[in-house]
Each structure stands twice: as C-alpha cells, then as structure tokens.
Chains A and B, each alone.
Chain A
Amino acid sequence: MTRLLMLCLICAGLTACATVGNGRMRQLQPAEASQLLQPGRTTRAEAERLLGAGSVLCFDSGWTTLHYVYRDGLPRALDFVPLVGLVTSAIEAPETELVLLFDEQGLLRKFRLRRSG
C-alpha cells in the first residue's frame, strides 16, 4: 500500500505543473505582451496587477526583475538539487517565462517572453 501511494505521488509529481503569478502569462502571446507592457510607461504595480505577484529580485543599483514562469512537469528548482538535478535538468518540458526589468523608479525598461518545449 505504501509503495502504491509512493508511486501515485511520483506520478502526480511527474505530471504536475508550476506557475508563478496569476496564470495569465500561460496564454500570453508576444503581441499581447507588447500591448500590455510598455517600456518607459508601465510601472511595477501595474504589471503585478495584470500578471499577479512574480518572483522579485532587487539589485544594489535599485533596479529589479520580476519573473513569471509556467511550466508543465517538475519544478525547475529541482535542477539545483545534487544528483536529482542530473535527472530533472535532462527532462525537457514546455515552459513559458516572462521576465520584466524595472529601473530604480519602478518603470519598466525591458521585458522578455520565452517559450520552450
């Protein structure tokens, strides 16, 4: 029974998906992204209202990045786990990623939408 439960958990893990944000960026197309996100005008607060809370990284310069990712399959954080990462990093899974760069005033300077898999 325990083995069956473990097997179910592993299967569930392998078919899982991981999202950062409100999920909107999952369907986000480049044209729509260019409409929603305008360098020099869009603020971080506006971006978060559109896309939900992303992963924030602050630099000493005062600039920040906001990172959103949607991924089918195992969370990529597992890539950084010794030995486990050996397996997970080799597994290709569809991934959509949006990175926004804000200056020290909180204004969008650049963004990048990447799809893989």
Chain B
Amino acid sequence: MSAISGLLALALAAPAELPPVSVDGESTASREQQTVADLLRVLDVFERERGQYAPRAELRVRVLPRRDLADVPALELRHGAVRDPIAVDALGRFAIPSAWRSLPPGAYVRSRLLAGRLAWAVDVRTPGLPENSRRLGDLRLECRADLYGGALVRGIKPPAFYALRALTDVCSSSQIAYGFFADQPVFAARITSGSRRAELPYRWMHGSEMGQSSVMFALVDWPFALRDRFVLMPPDKWKDSPHDALVELEPMTP
C-alpha cells in the first residue's frame, strides 16, 4: 500500500508536459539515389550528340514511382553536410545544372524512398510538339544518353551487352530492347512521318509478350505501377524513320 501511495505521489509531482526531445539520425536502409557523376555522364552524351539527334531539345532526368503511383520522390542533392531539396515538375523531372560539375566527387541525388521504389529515366524533349506525341530523335537520344551515359534505367545487361555496345550502336540494334514511359496510361502507339503512318503491334506495348509475371521483373522498371505507360521501341527502332518522325501515343482515357 505504501508503495502504491509512493508511486502516486511521484506521478502527481511529475510536470504536466515533458520537454521536447530531438533525435538526430537516419535509417541505414538503402534509398533510391543516383550519383551526380552518373547524371553528368548523361549530360555529357546529351551535349555531345544533341546536334545529331535533337538540336532543339531540352534534357531532364525523370523520376517515376515504380511500385506505387502514390509515392512522392522527395529528392535532395547531398554532399558533405549539404542537403539541398530538388524540385521536380508535374512530370517528375528536374534539370542537371552545369554547376554540378564543380561539386565534390561523392555528391549524389537521393530520395527518401526505399531502393526499388523509383524508376529513373533520361527525358529529352523538343518543345512545341503536339500533345501526346514524342519525337523519334528525342527518344533515340534518351537511349544514347542512358546506355552510353549514366545508365539510370534498370536493365538486364549481361557481358554480351557490353561487348555489343563496344562494337555497334545498341540504340539501333535489334538485339537490345529499349523503351520509354508515356506521360499517362497509353493504349496504342503509331509512328508518323510525312504520309507514312504505322501502328505499333501490341507485342511492343506494356511489355505484353512477357505476360503477367516473371522472375525477370525485379530487374527492370516497367512491370509494376508504370506498366500501362510503357512502350517498347520495336527491334528495328523505326530505323527507316527520320529523327523528326513523331510517335503518337493514344491515351487509355479520352
């Protein structure tokens, strides 16, 4: 009885509110991130080859929720003790400033999201195109800046890929599958150039040939939340079409 009354006295003597406690720390769980060095490799290829593929285009890096469309990327530029937030536009894109070339070697762009939650992509766009269309030269340069630059996109790259890359242009090779994400769920794609107009067979849409599930899905970006936006370039990569050809994307919803 005396113990209970002692505890009661202690409780009554305690202050009504405890002072706030701040705890500094960070989970060690792996997060989505890219090194600034890799992003600058993307910029290097873009600057070197834009004259050939997309002279008026602008370069961005795009981050998209890979597993759940509700995920927010929340990006920061980090180096040393610096934590600078990076704003992304409505399409999840941010620019690579040239000033990043002077950042320390370990600089990186990091998301609060766990590793595996984001898809990163090179985004090359010529301004002024019709709605729901992409320019073929822009898409080709996206491929070049990724596969010969920063390698931001997840992909299955066996040793044969690197051998092929050293010998030929993998972005026009029928042996390499490369695709892109539309800005919204897309039902069909067609390429137009002058009077030529060709529908893309469905086997190149949504990764449909891969079926509903595969053990390979963990290794690539498109099979989850983004699947309804995914368009695979055909094996000839529309080889006979000029860079100015347009890829028209028909949205799922009107």
Residue from B225, B234, B235 having most chain A Cβ neighbours under 10 A: B235
How big is the B interface, by class? 20 to 34
List B contacts of A43 (CB < 8 A): none
Whether B180 is near chain A, meaning CB under 8 Å from some CB there, is no
CB-CB contacts of A90-113 with B at 8 A, as 1s and 0s? 000001010101000000011010
Task: Give the distance to chain B from A30, nearest Cβ to Cβ, in Å.
Answer: 13
User: B252 contacts A55, CB within 8 Å?
Assistant: no
User: A97 contacts B202, CB within 8 Å?
Assistant: yes
List A contacts of B225 (CB < 8 A): 60
Task: Name B188's closest neighbour in chain A (CB-CB).
Answer: A112
A56 to B212, CA, bound (A): 8
Whether A58 is near chain B, meaning CB under 8 Å from some CB there, is yes
List A contacts of B211 (CB < 8 A): 57
User: B212 contacts A101, CB within 8 Å?
Assistant: no
How big is the A interface, by class? 20 to 34
A55 to B205, CA, bound (A): 13
Task: Name A77's closest neighbour in chain B (CB-CB).
Answer: B209
User: A82 contacts B175, CB within 8 Å?
Assistant: yes
List B contacts of A76 (CB < 8 A): 201, 203, 209
User: B206 contacts A65, CB within 8 Å?
Assistant: yes
Whether B92 is near chain A, meaning CB under 8 Å from some CB there, is no
List A contacts of B253 (CB < 8 A): 109
User: A58 contacts B209, CB within 8 Å?
Assistant: no
User: A89 contacts B208, CB within 8 Å?
Assistant: no
User: A63 contacts B202, CB within 8 Å?
Assistant: no
User: B235 contacts A59, CB within 8 Å?
Assistant: no
Contact of B201 among A83, A86, A109, A114 (CB under 8 A): A114
Task: Name A98's closest neighbour in chain B (CB-CB).
Answer: B202
Quick one: given A79-B235, A114-B201, are A57 and B212 in contact (CB under 8 Å)? yes
List B contacts of A83 (CB < 8 A): 175
User: A110 contacts B252, CB within 8 Å?
Assistant: yes
Task: Give the distance to chain A from B231, nearest Cβ to Cβ, in Å.
Answer: 14
Contact of B174 among A58, A86, A112 (CB under 8 A): A86
CB-CB contacts of A37-66 with B at 8 A, as 1s and 0s? 000000000000000000111111101010
List B contacts of A116 (CB < 8 A): 199, 201
Task: Give the distance to chain A from B245, nearest Cβ to Cβ, in Å.
Answer: 18
Task: Give the distance to chain B from A40, nearest Cβ to Cβ, in Å.
Answer: 11
Tell me the B10-40 residues at the A interface (CB within 8 Å). none
Task: Name A101's closest neighbour in chain B (CB-CB).
Answer: B187
User: B185 contacts A59, CB within 8 Å?
Assistant: yes
User: A95 contacts B201, CB within 8 Å?
Assistant: yes
Contact of A59 among B188, B201, B203, B228 (CB under 8 A): B228
- Given A59-B206, A97-B202, A112-B188, 20 further pairs, Cβ under 8 A: A57-B211, A59-B185, A60-B69, A60-B225, A60-B227, A60-B228, A61-B185, A65-B208, A67-B202, A67-B208, A69-B202, A77-B209, A79-B203, A85-B235, A86-B174, A89-B174, A89-B235, A99-B188, A110-B187, A116-B201
Rank and list the top 10 A-B pairs by shortest CB-CB distance, nearest first. A59-B228, A89-B235, A99-B202, A114-B199, A60-B225, A67-B202, A101-B187, A57-B208, A110-B187, A112-B188
